[in-house]
Amino acid sequence: MLKQLSLWLALSTVLPGLATAADYAKFTVPGLAKGQLSHSDIAPLIAYYQQQDWLEVTELGRSVEQRPIYLIKIGNGERKVLAWSQMHGDEPTATAAIFDLLAVLDARQQQQAATGDGGPAWLDNVSLYLIPMLNPDGAERKSRFNALGIDVNRDALALQTPEGQLLMQAAKQIKPHYGFNLHDQNRYHAAGENKKPATISLLAPAYNEAREINPSRHAAMQLVSAVKPLLDKVLPEQLGRYDDSYSIRSFGDTFSKMGISTVLVESGGQYNDPFRQQARQINVQLYLSWLEMISNGSYRDYDLSGYNSIPMNTSGGMKDLIISNISLPKLDGSGVLARVDLAFTAGGNGRGQVVLDEIGDASIYGGYHSLDASGMHYNAGKVYPLTGPLSLSAEKYLQLLAEGYSHFTGKAGLLSNNSGLPVAINPRGVNTLWPQRSMTTTFLLTKDNAVQLAVVDGRLIRLADASLLDAFSGN
């Protein structure tokens, strides 16, 4: 274990952040790979680190609902770094990454104690201050906002929230040279025109409307340029640049105005990675790289070309599901009027109702899931009225779908669904000749007059083998 550890540490020292996923896995804190983290998830970790003598854990203050907010201090160097996560309660990825970073450092400390080896060089030059989970009340209710319904990241001027006050107070007392503002972005951001998810997006926020570049913002941009080669390697074509419109009420912009070189890190979606574990790992690699480069000043060797070459995020550039080349019938129900693509998303940042939000040419979008329906015809399907109790086995359901029934109407309580597959009862927006925008999305796809696929509230059932593609259960 120690041998592997030292290999990893040697790698991360020589080639910042280039340790492999397998190396990283050794330091992944168990229990944090989920869609939401709340105070109870981090409390035992905080309690552990309160017992360690290589770092200081203090209570910075309390949230509206009196949950503790912690400040962790590591190192005693001159260059001060402040990083905070989860100021939006439903954005937990960087909180997990912060505890992974602590696990790396803790292992290094233990190794040092056992072998007498020196600790990481940057600890001599850097003081690192971490505020994991700035908004524990929002985290508790899986909400962006604090307990008052205030967006803490729009409270940098008015300072109406205790959480915002604590962050500002920390910044004024610590006077950091560098700030890392750690967030999650919605999974529908694509990286530029790449039609791929922006798994990480970075920004050196503006400090004025004109988006000028002063020395402190310049340094933040250099920090981004300096990690671009790493990101090009571990995340090809999936790095985006966040919009740099000046947001006067936001902390990143306000800190930038205060002369703190601030970098915004947004963790985003990835294929088949609903809990953003790749973004979590890359966050740790970024933190280690930045700490080392801040310590030795090597980021100043980079110009802004790396920063400027990162493509802007394309908002809405990703869809959960794209079904392309569906043949639509003519007005009389015969033949083929047009071949279209349908693109679906689940509203509410991937947690809401499935919506058909594009009909036509979806070729500009990337899909977390895609299906080419060439040769298949749209068919709204027939309604199966529930007139009495119906126990629905998979076999019975597939038979009904094959007969052209797409949905049920009547009292939902009459249907006992034992099929293991989704059913649509009293859906909106079916029984039309053509698919309808912003409606729930239930229809059939036929080939040679045989039903091949059923789309039930956006979920794809393949009749041949009763397989289900639920494009909305996470990506």
Counting contacts by CB under 5 A, is residue 217 touching Zn ion? no
Closest CA to 156 of 167, 170, 146: 167
In single-letter form, the type of residue at position 468 comes to L
Part of the chain binding Zn ion (CB under 5 A), chosen from 87-95, 195-203, 225-233, 466-474: 87-95
* Of residues 91 and 100, the one with the C-beta less far from Zn ion: 91
Part of the chain binding Zn ion (CB under 5 A), chosen from 80-88, 109-117, 231-239, 372-380: 80-88
Question: What span, in angstroms and rounded, lies between the C-alpha atoms of 73 and 377?
Answer: 62
Part of the chain binding Zn ion (CB under 5 A), chosen from 182-190, 218-226, 410-418, 445-453: 182-190
Part of the chain binding Zn ion (CB under 5 A), chosen from 91-99, 112-120, 125-133, 165-173: 91-99
> Closest separation between CB of residue 275 and Zn ion, Å?
17
Interaction pattern, residues 136-175, with Zn ion; x per rule: CB under 5 A: ----------------------------------------
Interaction pattern, residues 254-293, with Zn ion; x per rule: CB under 5 A: ----------------------------------------
Part of the chain binding Zn ion (CB under 5 A), chosen from 85-93, 231-239, 292-300, 338-346: 85-93
> Closest separation between CB of residue 27 and Zn ion, Å?
25
Part of the chain binding Zn ion (CB under 5 A), chosen from 67-75, 121-129, 183-191, 201-209: 183-191
Cα-Cα-Cα-Cα torsion 228, 229, 235, 239, nearest 10 degrees, comes to 20
Among 88, 108, 187, 196, binds Zn ion (CB under 5 A): 88
> Closest separation between CB of residue 88 and Zn ion, Å?
4
Tokens of 78: 């001159």
**Close Cβ partners of 70 (under 8 Å, ≥ 6 residues apart):** 46, 57, 58, 59, 60, 131, 132, 133
* Of residues 80 and 144, the one with the C-beta less far from Zn ion: 144
* Of residues 262 and 441, the one with the C-beta less far from Zn ion: 262
Interaction pattern, residues 18-57, with Zn ion; x per rule: CB under 5 A: ----------------------------------------
Counting contacts by CB under 5 A, is residue 183 touching Zn ion? yes
Part of the chain binding Zn ion (CB under 5 A), chosen from 16-24, 181-189, 219-227, 244-252: 181-189
> Closest separation between CB of residue 462 and Zn ion, Å?
37
Number of residues that bind Zn ion (CB under 5 A): 3
Give me Rg for the CA atoms of the chain.
26
Q: Which residues of 356-371 are buried (b: 16+ CB within 10 A; e: fewer)?
A: bbbbeebeebbbbbbb
* Of residues 80 and 183, the one with the C-beta less far from Zn ion: 183
Question: What span, in angstroms and rounded, lies between the C-alpha atoms of 62 and 25?
Answer: 33
> Closest separation between CB of residue 85 and Zn ion, Å?
10
Part of the chain binding Zn ion (CB under 5 A), chosen from 179-187, 201-209, 395-403, 456-464: 179-187
> Closest separation between CB of residue 42 and Zn ion, Å?
18
> Closest separation between CB of residue 183 and Zn ion, Å?
3
* Of residues 88 and 195, the one with the C-beta less far from Zn ion: 88
> Closest separation between CB of residue 266 and Zn ion, Å?
7
* Of residues 183 and 459, the one with the C-beta less far from Zn ion: 183
* Of residues 91 and 137, the one with the C-beta less far from Zn ion: 91
* Of residues 88 and 189, the one with the C-beta less far from Zn ion: 88
Question: What span, in angstroms and rounded, lies between the C-alpha atoms of 255 and 344?
Answer: 38
> Closest separation between CB of residue 160 and Zn ion, Å?
18
> Closest separation between CB of residue 167 and Zn ion, Å?
13
* Of residues 183 and 217, the one with the C-beta less far from Zn ion: 183
Is the Cβ–Cβ distance between 96 and 37 less than 8 Å?
yes
Q: Residue 424's CB: how many other CB atoms inside 10 A?
A: 23
Question: What span, in angstroms and rounded, lies between the C-alpha atoms of 64 and 17?
Answer: 37
The Cα angle at residue 122 between residues 118 and 123, in degrees rounded to 5? 70
Contact positions with Zn ion (CB under 5 A) in 361-420: none
* Of residues 88 and 369, the one with the C-beta less far from Zn ion: 88
Part of the chain binding Zn ion (CB under 5 A), chosen from 32-40, 83-91, 168-176, 323-331: 83-91
Chain residues in the site for Zn ion (CB under 5 A) = 88, 91, 183
